[in-house]
C-alpha cells in the first residue's frame, strides 16, 4: 500500500482571513488533522465549515503520538498537522513526526501561510538580509543568560518569541547582557491591537509597563549600533530626536551615553560642537 502524506499546514496567527486556499483544500481532503489543542483548532474548522477527525498532538505526547501518526501514514492515510497558530514545527510541536516520517520514506509537505516571526521582521524596519531566530529563551536563568551571551556575538537582526508575563524581565536581561540596544516589539500581529513599538530598551521599559497579548522581540544587528556610536552625525540626529520629544540637554546626554555605551562627557563634546 502506498504511504499517506504528512502536510504541515500553516493557520492564522490572529486574523482568520490569513489562511490560503490551498491550506483550506488540504484540511478538507485529508483523513485526519493532528492538532496541538483540538478545541482551539475546532474553532477554526467550524469557521471554515470543515468536519474532520482530530488527533491531539502536543509537546507532552509528541513521542507517543508521532508513532500513532506514523502508523496511520503507513496505512495510506493523509494527515494535516497544524498548531494553535501560525506555522507548525516553528516553536511548536511537529519536529519529531517530520523526522520519523522522513526516516520511513514518507513525504512531509509544507503548506505555507502565516508565520509570526517573518511578519514581525518584514515590518520591523530592521535589516532583513540576514537574521537569526532563537525562538523562546529558556526559563532557567543560567541557560537564558548563556544564550544571551551567544546572541550578543551575532551581527544579524535577532528575533525572539516571548510570553507577555516574561517580556519586561527578558528586556531587562537583554539590556544587562547586550547593552541598551535598539529593538522593535511586534505585538498582536494581524489582530485589532496590532502594534510595533520601537526604541532603545530603556525607552521601551519607560513607556511600556503592562504587556498584554502576543509579542515578538527583534534586536537591531549589533554592527549598526557600533557604527552609530562612532558617527557624529548619528549622535546629532539622535539629539535632535530627543529634543523634539521635549527632553532637556542633560537628560538627552545621559540617554545617548547610556544607549551608545560611551561616557557622558564624550556625548557632551559632540553637543558643544553642535552649539558652536
Asked whether 157 and 221 are in contact (CB, 8 A), the reply is: yes
Residues 6 or more apart whose CB falls under 8 angstroms from that of 37 comprise: 56, 58, 84
Q: Are strands 215-219 and 157-162 parallel, antiparallel or unpaired?
A: antiparallel
Closest by CA position to 82, among listed 91, 92, 73: 92
Work out how close the CB of 178 gets to ligand SAM at its nearest, in angstroms, rounded to a whole number.
Answer: 19
Of 161 and 239, which has the nearer Cβ to ligand SAM? Answer: 161
Contacting residues toward ligand SAM, per CB under 6 A: 13-14, 83, 85-87, 90-92, 115-117, 161-163, 186-191, 214-216
Of 114 and 225, which has the nearer Cβ to ligand SAM? Answer: 114
CA 96 to chain centre: 21
What is the spatial distance between Cα 197 and Cα 200, in angstroms, rounded to a whole number? 10
Of 4 and 211, which has the nearer Cβ to ligand SAM? Answer: 211
Of 218 and 253, which has the nearer Cβ to ligand SAM? Answer: 218
Q: Are strands 54-56 and 32-35 parallel, antiparallel or unpaired?
A: parallel
Q: Which residue is nearest to ligand SAM (CB)?
A: 86
Work out how close the CB of 174 gets to ligand SAM at its nearest, in angstroms, rounded to a whole number.
Answer: 15
What is the spatial distance between Cα 246 and Cα 234, in angstroms, rounded to a whole number? 19
Residue holding cell 515590518?
123
Work out how close the CB of 160 gets to ligand SAM at its nearest, in angstroms, rounded to a whole number.
Answer: 8
What is the spatial distance between Cα 174 and Cα 141, in angstroms, rounded to a whole number? 12
Work out how close the CB of 258 gets to ligand SAM at its nearest, in angstroms, rounded to a whole number.
Answer: 27
Work out how close the CB of 224 gets to ligand SAM at its nearest, in angstroms, rounded to a whole number.
Answer: 23
Work out how close the CB of 105 gets to ligand SAM at its nearest, in angstroms, rounded to a whole number.
Answer: 26
- Number of Cβ within 10 Å of residue 70's Cβ equals 21
Work out how close the CB of 162 gets to ligand SAM at its nearest, in angstroms, rounded to a whole number.
Answer: 6
- DSSP annotation of 236 reads H
What is the spatial distance between Cα 255 and Cα 205, in angstroms, rounded to a whole number? 13
Of 65 and 72, which has the nearer Cβ to ligand SAM? Answer: 65
Of 17 and 276, which has the nearer Cβ to ligand SAM? Answer: 17
Of 87 and 157, which has the nearer Cβ to ligand SAM? Answer: 87
DSSP per-residue string spanning 150-179: HHHT--SEEEEEE-GGGHHHHHHHHHHHH-
Amino acid at each position: 500500500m502506498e504511504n499517506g502524506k504528512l502536510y504541515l499546514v500553516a493557520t492564522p496567527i490572529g486574523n482568520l482571513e490569513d489562511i490560503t486556499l490551498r491550506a483550506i483544500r488540504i484540511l478538507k481532503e485529508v483523513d485526519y488533522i493532528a492538532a496541538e489543542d483540538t478545541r482551539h483548532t475546532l474553532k477554526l474548522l467550524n469557521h471554515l465549515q470543515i468536519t474532520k477527525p482530530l488527533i491531539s498532538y502536543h509537546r507532552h505526547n509528541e513521542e507517543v503520538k508521532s508513532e500513532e501518526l506514523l502508523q496511520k501514514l503507513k496505512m495510506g492515510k493523509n494527515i494535516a498537522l497544524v498548531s494553535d497558530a501560525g506555522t507548525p514545527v516553528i516553536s511548536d510541536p511537529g519536529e519529531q513526526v517530520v523526522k520519523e516520517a522522513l526516516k520511513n520514506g514518507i513525504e512531509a509537505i509544507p503548506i505555507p501561510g502565516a508565520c509570526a516571526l517573518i511578519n514581525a521582521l518584514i515590518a520591523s524596519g530592521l535589516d532583513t538580509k540576514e537574521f537569526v531566530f532563537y525562538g523562546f529563551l529558556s526559563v532557567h536563568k543560567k541557560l537564558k543568560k548563556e544564550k544571551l551571551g551567544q546572541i550578543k556575538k551575532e551581527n544579524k537582526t535577532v528575533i525572539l518569541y516571548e510570553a507577555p508575563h516574561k517580556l519586561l524581565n527578558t528586556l531587562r536581561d537583554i539590556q544587562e547582557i547586550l547593552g541598551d540596544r535598539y529593538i522593535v516589539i511586534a505585538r498582536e500581529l494581524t489582530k485589532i491591537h496590532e502594534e510595533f513599538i520601537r526604541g532603545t530598551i530603556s525607552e521601551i521599559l519607560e513607556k511600556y509597563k503592562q504587556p498584554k497579548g502576543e509579542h515578538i522581540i527583534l534586536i537591531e544587528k549589533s554592527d549598526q549600533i557600533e557604527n552609530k556610536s562612532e558617527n557624529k552625525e548619528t549622535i546629532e540626529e539622535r539629539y535632535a530626536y530627543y529634543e523634539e520629544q521635549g527632553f532637556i540637554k542633560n537628560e538627552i546626554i545621559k540617554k545617548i551615553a547610556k544607549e551608545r555605551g560611551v561616557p557622558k562627557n564624550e556625548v557632551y563634546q559632540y553637543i558643544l560642537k553642535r552649539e558652536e
